[in-house]
Copies of this chain bind each other. A is one copy, B any other.
């Protein structure tokens, strides 16, 4: 099934036109099925975990290779895990909706016995002997790890077109980047090869590829998901973050990854459908459009229309809608870069000195720039960060969810590095991360939700931002948006959407 149903409104393009442009979107077995649907089919014995896994492996083999979205596929491990899942279910031991569902894991996260390369020649033959915590949590919920997805080398870039295995391709248009650094996870999900994939996000590394590939990307509040076993880009910014096709699938992943401290120790709640997002609850929320210098700089009309649609939809749904001026957002870019650069170079210093030739030249050059940040600039950046966060949290006291674009542009071409647009963006790197970086620095949870715009070749998206720990409100609001997009599409609206 193609990724979009094409609306019949004015200016609608033919289904054929879209298919040509986006030929590898939604081609996999999860192109038209959510985790919960597949989970039900498994439990109704209409299929098995092994059969689903074989379908995913086949799709990965056929399309994943073309998209270059997996660095390592693990057919044997996946089949073994799927067989185990089937046996366990047959014995009546149900681990929840992810039981028997194939997923992808960003190749920055350690997988026991399975090669983990960080997208770099430095680790081309690296096989960890333990799982990252997040991987372990997925396994404990019964998920089948299909393989390791493409990452921008060492996660140090927002485009997803630099790794020792070459660039990942955007399933919606294979001449374009996926966005990064969780490039392969976004592409694999957008292509429907897996319903969920793990990413990580320090500057926007799940939200950016989520936006460019038309899938959901959630950056949770720092500290709620363990980063143990994830190769660091920036210790004080890294967060493990899931990508998924549907908002409900994102919620399932969020359930599997997040744990809470209880009196009995660290626990994950037992799965219950009540954990699913409820679009109706968005009507009770105070939603506010972010206004600042940055939000004036949206270069893509698709992104402008997506935001407009989202605001109208949420207003129609009964949510209280306002505008909030948050000047702090305009001050985030420099401190974020100083923190990320200093921490990233601290991680790579030894490698830069001992084996510089193993780095991609662009990454090596970027590291050389990163090495120049001064200690006092880093210290000031952390102090600025604390001040901006305090101020922003004060402004958020009367708001539940902020809304703004995820990115100001559409997916650039592979290898493209410069821009010349009316919004004043000159580099792809700067533009791509400009709208996601502030929430990383302020440590507020944020989700990118695809909002596909009529007639647009590439997907639009919006970013919802919440208060620390209020991921549920983001999921509820995202679900309301998703529902509206689906409904409008069903009634031949001018908005084109992805079928869920």
A342 touches B373 (CB 8 A): no
A372: CB under 8 A from chain B?
yes
Contacts of A376 in B (CB 8 A): 342-343, 345-346, 349, 370-371, 373
Q: Which of A378-386, A399-407, A444-452 contacts the other chain?
A: A378-386
When all copies of this chain in the complex are counted, the total is: 2
In this complex, which of A345, A349, A376 has the most chain B Cβ atoms within 10 angstroms of its Cβ?
A376
Question: 28 pairs across A/B with beta carbons < 8 Å?
Answer: A235-B379, A338-B375, A341-B375, A342-B374, A342-B375, A342-B376, A343-B375, A343-B376, A343-B379, A345-B374, A345-B375, A346-B377, A346-B379, A346-B380, A346-B383, A349-B376, A349-B380, A371-B376, A372-B374, A373-B374, A373-B375, A373-B376, A374-B374, A374-B375, A375-B375, A375-B378, A378-B378, A378-B379
Nearest CB in chain B: distance from A339 CB, A? 8
A375 to B377, CA, bound (A): 7
Contact flags A338-360 to B (C-beta < 8 A → 1, else 0): 10011101100100000000000
A235 to B375, CA, bound (A): 13
Nearest CB in chain B: distance from A155 CB, A? 17
Binding site of A, secondary structure by majority: helix, strand, loop or mixed?
helix
Contacts of A374 in B (CB 8 A): 342, 345, 371-375
Contacts of A380 in B (CB 8 A): 346, 349
Which residue of chain B has the shortest Cβ distance to A234 in the bound complex? B379
Nearest CB in chain B: distance from A228 CB, A? 15
Contacts of A373 in B (CB 8 A): 374-376
Residues of A within 8 A of B (CB): 235, 338, 341-343, 345-346, 349, 370-380, 383
A341 to B374, CA, bound (A): 11
Contacts of A342 in B (CB 8 A): 374-376, 378-379
A308 to B383, CA, bound (A): 45
Nearest CB in chain B: distance from A383 CB, A? 7
A44 to B352, CA, bound (A): 73
A153 to B122, CA, bound (A): 48
Which residue of chain B has the shortest Cβ distance to A236 in the bound complex? B379
Nearest CB in chain B: distance from A356 CB, A? 15
Which residue of chain B has the shortest Cβ distance to A343 in the bound complex? B379
Nearest CB in chain B: distance from A455 CB, A? 46
Contacts of A378 in B (CB 8 A): 342, 375, 378-379
Nearest CB in chain B: distance from A371 CB, A? 6
Contacts of A375 in B (CB 8 A): 338, 341-343, 345-346, 373-375, 377-378
Which residue of chain B has the shortest Cβ distance to A235 in the bound complex? B379
Contacts of A235 in B (CB 8 A): 379
Which residue of chain B has the shortest Cβ distance to A345 in the bound complex? B376
Which residue of chain B has the shortest Cβ distance to A381 in the bound complex? B375
A374 to B338, CA, bound (A): 11
Which residue of chain B has the shortest Cβ distance to A349 in the bound complex? B376
Nearest CB in chain B: distance from A441 CB, A? 15
Contacts of A343 in B (CB 8 A): 375-376, 379
Known: A346-B376, A371-B376. 19 other contacts (CB 8 A): A342-B375, A342-B378, A342-B379, A343-B376, A343-B379, A345-B375, A345-B376, A346-B377, A346-B383, A370-B376, A371-B374, A372-B374, A373-B375, A373-B376, A374-B374, A375-B375, A375-B377, A375-B378, A378-B379
